[in-house]
Amino acid sequence: MTIHVAFTPAETGPAPIGVVVDVLRATSTIAQALASGYRRVVCCAEIEDALALRAEIPDSLVGGERKAVQVEGFDVGASPREFLEPRAETLILSTTNGTRAILETAQRCEEVVLGSLLNLDAVARAAASDDAVVVCAGFQGAFALDDAYCAGRIVQLVESERTDAAIGSELRSGSTEAPLIRTSKWRWGPVAWPLAPINPTRTPWLTQTPTRTSMRERCAYIERSPCPWATTTKKPQPPWRQPAHTT
């Protein structure tokens, strides 16, 4: 098995498993939202799609940003700090880089896993099960050091054959000693702000279960896996489009 790193979404090729990384902030925010109690996250590329889904999906709120500024008309922004407690069952998210990268990767890969510094072990287990590509969301199509750093941390944990890009990313993460490295006006890496505290006893899935996504029209639907090792290449119908049922 092989692991590769695409430093921008445009470099991504087809693979059985695609690991999307947007440390600041989409994948970190999604991990925090699911850990705090949101049942699902729906990712949208466009603002209009996110607002339309809010009107369609009951008990939902919409969050996101453009160039690190909360979108006008959205309920919340895209910081993990805004998702310490669940305010709805469904979070609809649209961001500058991360949600677009998730959607693009879902078109090329059979299964998509979301990676961040919050769930490295779970993501590494998922990536080790087959050929995988780690996709860095970057910033507006360009390289972002924080994503490359996180990709390297994932590569370090996966015992698969590495491509040259994966080796370079692994070396980059191993040589980063400073806690803050400014890479552009909007990007900081590898750690730019304190993440919300995670209690492993209350949120064991965060270190055990990889997050899964599926492509549905122009949006990606993300839900907590039913068990620590649950993986699938099936692209399920989102619950709000399924017939009502009781359990």
Query: What are the boundaries of each domain within the chain?
Result: 2-230
Query: What is the overall mean pLDDT for the chain?
Result: 79
What SS3 state is found at 153? helix
Highest mean predicted confidence (pLDDT) among 14-18, 198-202, 227-231: 14-18
User: Could you say which DSSP state residue 204 is in?
Assistant: G
**What average pLDDT does the segment 193-202 reach?**
35
- Torsion angle defined by CA atoms of residues 3, 196, 83 and 202, in that order, rounded to the nearest 10 degrees: 90
The whole model's pTM is what? 0.73
Q: What beta strand segments (E) does the chain contain? A: 2-6, 15-21, 40-44, 60-66, 69-70, 90-94, 109-115, 132-136, 161-162, 180-182, 188-190, 212-216, 219-223
Q: Is the pLDDT of residue 198 over 60?
A: no
Contact 136, 21 (CB under 8 A): yes
Residue 14 Rama label (left phi>0; alpha psi -120 to 50; beta): beta
pLDDT at 136 over 50: yes
Superfamily of domain 2-230: ComB-like (3.90.1560.10)
Residue from 222, 213, 221, 210 nearest 123 by CA: 210
Using DSSP's 3-state secondary structure scheme, residue 239 falls into helix
